[in-house]
Structure 1
């Protein structure tokens, strides 16, 4: 099963993935299958009420390494439980998912509970990755991060925020000032951009969902992701979506939040590797790094942005060895 999953990822042009809900029960199995892997893994162990992990920060090697702890600050926009300062609309869509009219959602933790989790793991050297969509949730976790950094200064911590659908430009500037980095789930726009605007949040908040342009404007190094099984791993489509911001209806959502093609490529390569503390060995083709690379049917820089997703992955290499298509 693991070999089949690696093969599927290689077909999509992937050589490294982060596992953001790693269960330590699988650690012995990963060690056993280590030499069979064709995708590098960077894992984030799920935080639990026990506030404990048997692992040590950066434990592992360039193929498999646990680098962080994952926290879910809030939930999903599609079920009405993200932590917002503004209410969901009252529409057929929100009534279908059971959102109470006027609801601003909610958080999974109090600020004090988040501070306890971060305060347990951050001083031990762990990177924290916090799932958060709502702008109220972003304020809370940034407060917690700021307090942790004040109590336990660390120059290069790369604390993370995951998804950040409703994050504001002001919050992005604050995050960057703290050294916090964001990974954006831009595929929401490709599948549900119209629902975000018409069904859930209205133009003011729905159109600027996943504000990648504002993020890079601060100087922040960002990444793009898919959060499977919510959407499949398709890095070329991520780039296309980030550059076009086109909803299923064809309308463009907040064009000022578009990335350039070059910014989109960086968010799927070197800047994503940087977020994983792996930019010294992967993410770009340089002397001294692994020859992890993908061959595609055209140059994304010379391809119409809306067609980047249609480029074909022709070959994938891990450390110079072709892993897709397999020889023979």
Structure 2
């Protein structure tokens, strides 16, 4: 961030210097590392290393003050938090900021949110803090989290999507590319099936339905980015940004969602990849 700039001034500077190709999204911050690196800050020790709980990257009072300053200058804030202790720290900083400097519809978010407790999610809902869940973790590291890093109980409720839905918490899903490949359909598949690399269901009670998973990658994502009036749904007056799929994810077997072929991608109604079937009219 340019020192002392407001969010509006930063956005203007970015757009000016990039000839309109770059704009401001968020002020990004980090408060811990990764669970598989033993650097995520947990409230309880790691399953296989009972003498380790990870560390917070920022001292709490200074962190609270920095987040409050960014919030007061109009920035939307996104904070990395994998471990539940880091998530709690992020919630404290964000909730204090919005209480100190009230601002409607800030849409701050916590990135990853892997081990959030029920109480964490409830507090996030109370203060309008959104979540961006790293759902692909269930597949790529779920077995190791269960057996090595978190143990069975904590691993079962990694990325607690069902609880987020029940709380009506605004959330999206992400791949954390380049940590895992970008594929919205894969993330939808992971949220619906919660299968690990070794084929185990990890957290049956945290599965969500296909419609909700698709909304998290479309409608909810647009809302989180303040673009719900422009994107997220296919309707008159919005940008025609969408993909055409070879199968309907609502009717195909749930375990096949990740393998659905993308036929074409359109941006502003223009085909930027693939081919639209001849039988399909695009206007």
Distance, in Å, in 2 between the alignment partners of 1:104 and 1:192 is 19
User: Residue 177 of structure 1: which of 121, 126, 151 is its match?
Assistant: 126
Question: Which runs of 4 or more aligned residues in structure 1 lie more than 3 Å from their structure 2 counterparts after TM superposition?
Answer: 50-55, 57-64
User: Residue 204 of structure 1: which of 149, 153, 174 is its match?
Assistant: 153
Are residue 239 (structure 1) and residue 188 (structure 2) matched?
A: yes
Gaps of 5+ in 2: 277-283
Are residue 85 (structure 1) and residue 43 (structure 2) matched?
A: yes
Are residue 119 (structure 1) and residue 68 (structure 2) matched?
A: yes
Q: Which residue of 2 aligns with 1:56?
A: 9
Distance, in Å, in 1 between the alignment partners of 2:221 and 2:239 is 15
- 1:246–1:252: 8 Å Cα contact kept in structure 2? yes
- 1:226–1:234: 8 Å Cα contact kept in structure 2? yes
Higher relative contact order (CA closer than 8 Å, sequence separation 6+)? 1
| Deviation of the 1:121 alpha carbon | 1.2
Q: Which residue of 2 aligns with 1:273?
A: 222
1:96-119 deviation per Cα after TM superposition (whole angstroms, max 9, x unaligned): xxxx64201111111122113212
Q: Pairwise CA RMSD of aligned residues? A: 2.1
- SS, match of residue 300 in structure 1: coil
Distance, in Å, in 2 between the alignment partners of 1:58 and 1:225 is 24
- SS, match of residue 25 in structure 2: strand
Gaps of 5+ in 1: 1-46, 91-99
* Larger relative strand fraction: 1
1:207/1:286 Cα in 2 relative to 1: closer, same or farther (>3 Å)? same
Q: Which residue of 2 aligns with 1:3?
A: none
Q: Which moved more, 1:57-66 or 1:189-198?
A: 57-66
- SS, match of residue 249 in structure 1: coil
1:127/1:301 Cα in 2 relative to 1: closer, same or farther (>3 Å)? same
Total equivalences in the alignment: 271
